[in-house]
């Protein structure tokens, strides 16, 4: 935990707000043939896919740049792209 417990809470809050968009899935329940079966599956699948993508991006970012250089960075993705941009 290089950024301490506060860094962990910031990361958790970002992920929480990213998952709020899944309410759009529940609004499509009217169009399902079997909503009691299809809706929970679609929500779980979308959560799993987003979690895997989040982990993959975190692994790639820490593979490109050492985690210690992210200290105090607000947007790690932009930080890495800016640092690696040509010219």
Q: How far apart are CA 84 and CA 1, in angstroms?
A: 25
Cα 9 off chain centre by = 14
For residue 2, pLDDT over 80 is answered with: no
For residue 82, pLDDT over 80 is answered with: yes
Global pTM reads 0.59
Instruction: State pLDDT tens for residues 11-62.
Output: 777 777 666 666 666 677 777 788 788 888 888 888 888 889 888 988 888 8
Domain count, the chain: 1
Q: How far apart are CA 2 and CA 22, in angstroms?
A: 31
For residue 78, pLDDT over 80 is answered with: yes
Domain of residue 76 covers 4-84
> pLDDT value at position 56?
92
Rounded mean pLDDT, 7-13: 79
> pLDDT value at position 20?
66
């Amino acid at each position: 935990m290089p950024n301490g417990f506060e860094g962990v809470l910031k990361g958790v809050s970002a992920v929480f707000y990213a998952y709020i968009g899944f309410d759009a899935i529940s609004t499509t329940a009217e169009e399902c043939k079997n909503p009691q079966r299809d809706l929970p599956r679609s929500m779980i699948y979308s959560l799993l896919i987003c979690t895997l993508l989040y982990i993959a991006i975190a692994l790639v970012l820490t593979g490109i740049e050492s985690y210690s250089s992210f200290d105090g960075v607000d947007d790690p993705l932009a930080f890495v792209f800016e640092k690696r941009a040509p010219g």
